[in-house]
Structure 1
Amino acid sequence: MGHSKEEEISCENGDSAPITNGDLHSLEKKKIKRKNDMTLEDIYNNQYDFEDDEDEDSDWEPTAPSLLERDIFELPKWFCLNCTMVNLGIDPHCDVCGEHRESGILNHGFLASSFTKAEASIENVADAADRLKDPRFQSIASDNRTAIGFDERMLLHEEVEMKSHPHPERPDRVRAIAASLATAGIFPGRCSSIPGREITREELLMVHSPENIEAVELTSHIVSSYFTPDTYANQYSARAARLAAGFCFDLATAICSGSAKNGFALVRPPGHHAGVKHAMGFCLHNNAAIAASAAQIAGAKKVLIIDWDVHHGNGTQEIFEKNKSVLYISLHRHEGGKFYPGTGAANEVGTMGAEGYCVNVPWSRGGVGDNDYIFAFQKVVLPIASEFDPDFTIISAGFDAARGDPLGCCDITPSGYAQMTQMCSGLSGGKLLVILEGGYNLRSISSSATAVIKVLLGESLLHNMEQIVPTKAGLRTVLEVLKIQLKYWPSLEPKFSKLQSEWGWYALQEKKKNKKKRSLATLPPKVWKLGRKRWLYHFWCKKLSLKLRGF
């Protein structure tokens, strides 16, 4: 079908107007700007697809691509091993996280250099999965040490269909953590392991309905299937989910019985979005809920679940929202319900006589860092947990609120995760099980998990947590939660009153900090003072001085 040099297109006001080749070039620029404005979460939600980008007029085909099109689409495209973000061009470093295209992170974890190509031969450090299979390291957790649950069969759970972007929940997540632990000599080495087993149907029925169990099991007969557009399964996924749940069940039992000091479940697929009947959010079976049930069978009357994954654990909340023997506390991005999965508002407190046994700390924005999380632990999590006085504590440890994570877009450091773990270790007489949930930047997830396991091993931290100043938004969230929860937890009343009286001081501190940042941002570079631009440096400083004095 032929076209003239001028085509008719529909304008925003409904009229028609001619478009020339020059206009096409302008439209192409706007299209690329729209692509660059997409957030990382939009990319993961497939709102923009690099390979399936078609106009609504499918029969409109220019006779030749524009120069702009050729410049973009002839560049080689590759996906970063560390963060999965797309890169165009021959630069070997990721534009988003800086990781080398041929990174050695799967051999050494976060201890590998992010700037250089992986070594051709790695001496003394074999593949992490192979080391974990070595019989010399397969000691059962019976010496009251930190126990780790890991089985390479969980690596077989992966997305089969080739899409325009790698799925963030991929086997490399646990490979990177295992590589970090192996390189650091932590596991195998300082920790014990427990043998993997698949959880039984009867054990699953304590948490899930037959519909969930049968739906997951059905996938073992299908090469590729989906529960939701982002929750995949292949023929190995059902076994991986049963192994993950089995590890969590057995680790909880071992810790409650005293045969293990504490534990870390290095498992996938994750679990905290899986509810009574449904699988969603990359999750098939709810590992934390299964561990809580196992702990109660082993004698724990009261179980605490702390969920610091950046997403709200809607499945865990659903399972226990009517249960007074399990206290669920979640810290997550919420943004008024606009952040996935949309649940977890502060006023969701439990139902049917279990009000107060569900505590949500819903952050109102992204970028939340160590100070806000630790402040919330000090003012909300620990006071409520101490009054609850649990016999066993579980952490749903998603590391997608870590700095550099492409989905969470928050700012917790490995040190921040270590501090929160140390604060939890004083609960339940130290009976603590940490279960891996989310986390999609390999460097962030492996460094954060390693920092947490070091705390489980007894390594002490030297951080001063007394003078923690939250952001204004973080303080507002904490006050909102305290106001709602103090009717159920009387010990919160003095903390709430004190924080209200100190609101002005905290707000002033935040204002001073922001003012200092703005002032520093307006200063010219000091190197100008020594070079040819020294006249511009003095002019700039004089202008700034006059501005600050009100002229």
Structure 2
Amino acid sequence: MTSLQRDSSSTVISSPVPLLLLAVEMDHQEKNLRRPHVALLYDERMCSHANPNDEDHPETPERIRAIWKKLESRGIPQRCVILGAKEAEDRYIALVHTQKHINLIRNISSKDFDSWRRNRIASKFNSIYFNEGSSEAAYLAAGSVIEVSERVAKGEFRSAVAIVRPPGHHAEPDEAMGFCLFNNVAVAANLLVNERPELGIRKILIVDWDVHHGNGTQKMFWKDPRVLFFSVHRFDFGSFYPSGDDGSHTMVGEGLGAGYNINVPWEHGQCGDADYLAVWDHVLIPVAKAYNPDMILISGGFDAAIGDPLGGCRVSPYGYSVMMKKLMEFARGRIVMALEGGYNLMSLANSVLACVEVLLDGKPIVGSSEAYPFESTWRVIQAVRQELSSFWPALNEELPEKILTNCIKTRPLEPNLSSASDSDAENDRLSNALSESPGGLCGTSPAEAVEDVILPLSKLKVDEDSHEKEIDSNHFTPDEGTSLVSSEECDNEPVLSPVQSVDGPILWRSVYSKISIWYGSYGSNMWKPRFLCYIEGGRVEGMKKPYSGSKDKSLPKEIMWKMVSYRLFFAQSHTHTWGAGGVAFLHPESSSDEKAYIRMYKITLEQFNDVLLQENSLTSDVASPLFDSSALDFVTRNKSTHLEALKGGWYSNVIYLGMEHGLPILTMTCPLSYIDNFKSGKLPMQPPSEDYAKTLVKGLVEGKQLSEEEAVNYIHGSAVRQI
């Protein structure tokens, strides 16, 4: 075909001659066989919604433009029917949203609201912006998903893809959040089951594979068995956006909807094809067979894709194509995919392309996925199956022992406590003294979310250049159980399998090098030459070993001092870095009766990760950050966060000390659970060694905070006082 096929209605020809009627009917059937069975919806008007204050905001108009450009480069529009966007009617949006919320979104772009007022209103929400084009884009996005869903339900197309923005799955009945204004998929699903009974869509399966939990969609169908909501997402024990316990596997629905809400919450990042396909095979597919939906709506977020700056996972285009193909076995292939997240433009475009090609050709793109799932993946799957087995008998069966042993048995990051920095003491004593923290999904209670996000996702700066950079296969070495997947359908771009360790430019370092924070040091790093060992590498007088430094060896952009209301104390009896003697800690809880000096270094979030890694004896050659953007969001709201990947590390607790010049102040100390062990003597408290104490004195004196005598007394007083 040489031109795009626009939708048009056919004319029915009537004739009194039966043979003529038969001929017309046969001709009509033949035309239907030739008619494309996949619809695409794209409308440039949805690009009018953009952040007026931050051109680097991740939810950018370039997201849908990149998708459309990729599809055009492959001739995909010529194989589909192209539909234009339509604005949703308020009466349909009101099926899931309150009138107050509808009024706000309808009017926010009008002349009644200037930019200052829009910004003020947006600041009251979690990760939201508004401009002159927001209202139109929101109505078009919701209306577009309604349009394609109705057309597929009527049988005009077998499937459809709505390339829309702003996304929708975080939007709650009375609140915009997480880049989402209206809940596009929820509006369409509710319309089909409540307003279009003649279409025969009585049961809908919503599959949300966005890396973030679809909290809004979950709440809208919490008690409704006509909509089965399935979400697989990063949870990180409740600390990953949108935080809290809504994304827990224990949230199964209520009343008639009990059992019709399924959450599969990853414990950490780096999950990829093998992990997602294991969930498909052992949770989603058995339930879908039993549920037998009339139609499937996919909340198609692609921020779990390789290289996404917000997701930290590694699903390849091939992985998405297999996930899509498995879903096509249900509901007679009636599938609508609506775009949600996805912020690496190259991965986003390639992944959407892979899904569209499956819908057109009925088979996954060329590729392979040889890596095994993480051990934690099987743990999560078993917990989900156990929680839902009373609702879905197919989940009652025990998983074969063979598949449980085929896994990556380590977490993505494992601390090596044999040669730590300020934090390395007698680790055998540590492990014997402390009770083992509950591991895995079942033993950990989700973090409690609080209001007033200080640093939401929308504040992140994304390097535009990183979107189009290729993954260089020379930047990694395959290990056992890993593979390099090359897909002929993705321009032969190399694609990483789920467990590879990469220091590639399109991954986390290129993004986090653009985010600034304050690192507050209260110990030996108060002396600038000592701190620079963590940045430039090397060692100073008194240190027993050198450090490799950060990947980014840029000096701090600014240095300043501050007093904080925390108790300084010294603990441990020996470290490899300083020899015998204690090292500095802050009590994890603040106290107005206490004062401690901190020297603040303005560094990047990438450099902070490298400092954190070196403090806890981890190599800086890691595939994903130890402290990512969601952890930063979480700690600014909750004051501290214990990093599960550093369980057992002395400095595994990141503390938020406030804001300075609009940037968060972060430091690291021991977990709160260690304090009782220090008090009881199970863990040693001991004054610092002479070399270590001299370093602190130099920092305070050269920083012009105290005289030498005052600095010595400050350190001595902190060392001899009991906690």
Q: Distance in 1 between matches of 2:224 and 2:177?
A: 22
After TM superposition, the structure 1 = structure 2 runs for residues 362-401 of structure 1, keeping only pairs within 5 Å, are 362-401=265-304
How much does 1:218 deviate?
Answer: 2.2
Q: Does the CA contact (< 8 Å) of 1:198 and 1:243 recur in 2?
A: yes
* Residue aligning to 1:410: 313
Letter in 2 for 1:333: R
After TM superposition, the structure 1 = structure 2 runs for residues 300-319 of structure 1, keeping only pairs within 5 Å, are 300-319=201-220
Matched residue pairs, number? 379
* Residue aligning to 2:102: 213
How much does 1:230 deviate?
Answer: 2.1
Q: Which has the higher helix share?
A: 1
After TM superposition, the structure 1 = structure 2 runs for residues 233-272 of structure 1, keeping only pairs within 5 Å, are 233-272=130-169
Q: Distance in 1 between matches of 2:292 and 2:350?
A: 31
* Residue aligning to 1:177: 67
Q: Distance in 1 between matches of 2:232 and 2:140?
A: 27
Matched position secondary structure for 1:294: helix
Letter in 1 for 2:168: G
Give percent identity, aligned residues only.
36
Q: Does the CA contact (< 8 Å) of 1:141 and 1:260 recur in 2?
A: no
After TM superposition, the structure 1 = structure 2 runs for residues 23-422 of structure 1, keeping only pairs within 5 Å, are 138-140=6-8, 143=35, 145-161=37-53, 163=54, 166-187=56-77, 189-221=78-110, 222-224=113-115, 225=118, 226=122, 228=125, 230-296=127-193, 297=196, 298-342=199-243, 343-422=246-325
Q: Which runs of 5+ in 2 are unaligned?
A: 11-34, 415-477, 483-723
* Residue aligning to 1:87: none
Q: Does the CA contact (< 8 Å) of 2:64 and 2:163 recur in 1?
A: yes
TM-score (norm 2): 0.50
Answer yes or no: is 1:439 the counterpart of 2:342: yes
Letter in 1 for 2:326: M
Q: Does the CA contact (< 8 Å) of 1:349 and 1:359 recur in 2?
A: yes
Q: Distance in 2 between matches of 1:140 and 1:337?
A: 48
Letter in 2 for 1:193: I
- Over 3 Å counting, the alpha-carbon distance change for 1:195 and 1:502 in structure 2 is same
Matched position secondary structure for 1:271: coil
When the two chains are superposed, the root-mean-square deviation of aligned CA atoms in Å is 2.7
Q: Distance in 1 between matches of 2:37 and 2:404?
A: 47
Q: Does the CA contact (< 8 Å) of 1:375 and 1:469 recur in 2?
A: no
Q: Distance in 1 between matches of 2:304 and 2:85?
A: 29
Q: Does the CA contact (< 8 Å) of 1:141 and 1:192 recur in 2?
A: no
How much does 1:491 deviate?
Answer: 1.1
Q: Distance in 2 between matches of 1:294 and 1:234?
A: 28
After TM superposition, the structure 1 = structure 2 runs for residues 9-28 of structure 1, keeping only pairs within 5 Å, are none
Answer yes or no: is 1:506 the counterpart of 2:406: yes
How much does 1:329 deviate?
Answer: 0.3
Q: Deviations over 1:42-99 (max 9, x none)?
A: xxxxxxxxxxxxxxxxxxxxxxxxxxxxxxxxxxxxxxxxxxxxxxxxxxxxxxxxxx
Larger deviation, residues 296-305 vs 464-473: 464-473
* Residue aligning to 2:638: none
* Residue aligning to 1:96: none
How much does 1:354 deviate?
Answer: 1.3
How much does 1:223 deviate?
Answer: 4.5
Q: Does the CA contact (< 8 Å) of 1:264 and 1:433 recur in 2?
A: yes
- Over 3 Å counting, the alpha-carbon distance change for 1:468 and 1:321 in structure 2 is farther
How much does 1:498 deviate?
Answer: 2.7
Q: Distance in 2 between matches of 1:183 and 1:492?
A: 43
Q: Does the CA contact (< 8 Å) of 1:348 and 1:358 recur in 2?
A: yes
How much does 1:302 deviate?
Answer: 0.3
Q: Does the CA contact (< 8 Å) of 2:354 and 2:365 recur in 1?
A: no
* Residue aligning to 2:697: none
How much does 1:429 deviate?
Answer: 0.7
Q: Distance in 2 between matches of 1:325 and 1:197?
A: 26
Q: Distance in 2 between matches of 1:487 and 1:397?
A: 29
Q: Does the CA contact (< 8 Å) of 2:171 and 2:183 recur in 1?
A: yes
Q: Deviations over 1:334-357 (max 9, x none)?
A: 011100002310000001231110
Q: Distance in 2 between matches of 1:467 and 1:487?
A: 33
Q: Distance in 2 between matches of 1:377 and 1:519?
A: 21
Larger deviation, residues 483-492 vs 356-365: 483-492
Q: Distance in 2 between matches of 1:444 and 1:519?
A: 23
Q: Does the CA contact (< 8 Å) of 1:168 and 1:440 recur in 2?
A: yes
Q: Distance in 1 between matches of 2:49 and 2:325?
A: 32
Q: Distance in 2 between matches of 1:290 and 1:260?
A: 20
- Over 3 Å counting, the alpha-carbon distance change for 1:381 and 1:463 in structure 2 is farther
Q: Does the CA contact (< 8 Å) of 2:297 and 2:335 recur in 1?
A: yes
Q: Deviations over 1:454-512 (max 9, x none)?
A: 01112423779998732101111111111101111011112xx134x4476335x747x
* Residue aligning to 1:89: none
